[in-house]
Amino acid sequence: MKILIVDDEPLIRELVVQIVDDLDMGIEVIEAENGLEALDKIRTETPDLVLLDIMMPKMSGFDLCRILQTEPPHWKMDIVILSAKGQEADKQIAKALGIKKYITKPFKIEEMIELIKGYAVNRELL
């Protein structure tokens, strides 16, 4: 299984990498610091799960989702929004873009462990 973590904050990426490493489930983590870099990695690496921030330089998470909707191989990709923006309007935008899960930062480490472990076992967002 392959996870792409997309966040312009290196500490968030490092935390998720550490969580995955501690799970010791053979999960590969790919990192991107903005939406443009993420788009390239999605097209070349084909991750199973994307943990995506909204507010980033060069391309926002929502703009990335809009582009992915136009690309048939990627439009049903499992994406989890991981954002400090917790307003209902943002959650509604995410829902309209087909996002199944929205986690507000700061997140609980236990919540991230449960999400990743559950996805690794079931290959779907619970």
Radius of gyration for the chain, computed over Cα atoms and rounded to the nearest angstrom: 13
The total of structural domains in the chain comes to: 1
**Could you tell me the CATH number of the domain that includes residue 80?**
3.40.50.2300
CB-CB contact of 83 with 54 (8 Å): yes
Q: Is residue 45 part of a domain?
A: yes
Phi and psi (nearest 5°) for 92? -70, -40
Long-range contacts of range 14-22, CB-CB < 8 Å, 24 or more positions apart?
Answer: 15/109, 15/112, 16/51, 16/112, 19/109, 19/112, 19/113, 19/116, 20/116
Whether 107 is covered by a domain: the verdict is: yes
Structural domain includes residue 102? yes
- Per-residue model confidence as pLDDT tens digits over 76-102: 789 999 999 889 999 999 999 989 899
Identify whether 82 is part of a domain: yes
The encoded tokens of residue 92 equal 């509604």
Structural domain range at position 41: 2-112
pTM listed for this prediction: 0.93
pLDDT in tens, 35-70: 999 999 999 999 999 999 999 999 999 999 999 988
Mean pLDDT, the chain, whole residue set: 93
